């Protein structure tokens, strides 16, 4: 049974894409070059940075399939406009608190971007009732010490839900000893990811063939990190 249940909202993807296009337009001259013609809806050029990392782990930028997956996430940005400033504003408000809890728990700072991909930094509720900034299922939340009942739902607390997410990250790291795999497992679950690693006889996320959602998950996180971590994008 998966420890987490996630459903992506169309609105979440729209916000994500809006963030990318807003930020890319403001960052001409960066290593990432993105020219967008609003009249023709055409992309003139796209150049990814030479190096990307997640939680200190290198992304294999010499792998064509990896580049293709990264470009896919950035290209998606061309189809949506406006409102990205809201996500930047939420990050300004919530990241300092999330960063503090991650640091205290010994979790790499990059994991704050999972909350962006999961919920757009809002108290979202999925069709399966996964709730909060970290989109925790009720059973999962309770297993990590959160109170969830008819009167109280601590998944809606940014502090307590982040602490619960950190417990998951630490548990997953004991299993995989790799932060990129920990991030991927947040989407598919520890047992789900381990089954795929065993089946495909690899220990590298970038060598895995996964379902559509999990296969894109880490790349979405990398794209969000790249945009939000640059001062000129805020």
pLDDT digits (tens, 9 = 90+) for 149-200: 999 999 999 999 999 999 999 999 999 999 999 999 999 999 999 999 999 9
Residues 6 or more apart in contact with residue 229 via CB below 8 angstroms: none
3-state secondary structure of 151: coil
How many Å apart are CA 97 and CA 166, to the nearest integer?
13
Contacts 24+ apart (CB under 8 A), 158-162: 158/94, 158/97, 158/98, 158/133, 159/97, 159/101, 161/132, 161/133, 161/134, 161/136, 162/97, 162/98, 162/101, 162/102, 162/115, 162/133, 162/134
- 44 pLDDT exceeds 70? no
Q: Say if strands 57-58 and 53-54 run parallel, antiparallel, or are unpaired.
A: antiparallel
pLDDT at residue 56 in the model? 97
pTM: 0.81
89-131 per-position pLDDT tens digit: 899 999 999 999 999 999 999 999 999 999 999 999 988 889 9
Task: Report angle CA 225, 228, 230 to the nearest 5 degrees.
Answer: 105
Name, in order, each residue with C-beta under 8 angstroms of 44's C-beta and a sequence gap of 6 or more: 35, 36, 37
Whether the per-residue pLDDT at 12 is higher than 70: the answer is: no
Q: Hey, what domains does the chain have and what are their CATH numbers? A: 10-233 (1.10.530.10)
Phi, psi of 73 (to 5 degrees): -70, -35
**How much is the pLDDT for 229?**
79
130 by DSSP, 3-state: which?
coil
Reduced DSSP (H G I as helix, E B as strand, rest coil) percent helix, strand, coil of the chain, to 5: 60, 10, 30
Token pair listed for 194: 């381990």
Q: Tell me the β-bridge partners of 125.
A: 131
């Amino acid at each position: 049974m998966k420890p987490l249940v996630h459903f992506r909202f169309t609105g979440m993807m729209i916000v994500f894409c809006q963030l990318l296009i807003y930020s890319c337009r403001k960052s001409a001259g960066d290593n990432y070059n993105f020219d967008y013609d609003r009249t023709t809806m055409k992309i003139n050029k796209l150049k990814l940075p030479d190096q990307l990392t997640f939680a200190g782990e290198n992304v294999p930028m010499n792998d064509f399939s990896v580049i293709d997956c990264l470009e896919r996430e950035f290209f998606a940005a061309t189809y949506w406009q406006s409102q990205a400033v809201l996500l930047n504003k939420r990050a300004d408000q919530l990241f300092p608190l999330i960063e503090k809890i991650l640091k205290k728990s010994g979790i790499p700072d990059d994991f704050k971007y999972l909350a962006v991909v999961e919920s757009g930094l809002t108290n979202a509720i999925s069709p399966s009732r996964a709730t909060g900034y970290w989109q925790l299922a009720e059973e999962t939340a309770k297993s990590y010490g959160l109170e969830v009942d008819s009167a109280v739902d601590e998944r809606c607390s940014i502090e307590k839900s982040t602490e619960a997410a950190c417990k998951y990250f630490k548990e997953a790291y004991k299993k995989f000893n790799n932060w990129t795999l920990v991030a991927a497992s947040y989407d598919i679950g520890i047992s789900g990811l381990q089954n795929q690693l065993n089946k495909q006889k690899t220990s590298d996320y970038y060598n895995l063939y996964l379902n559509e959602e999990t296969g894109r998950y880490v790349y979405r996180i990398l794209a969000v990190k790249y945009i939000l971590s640059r001062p000129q994008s805020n």
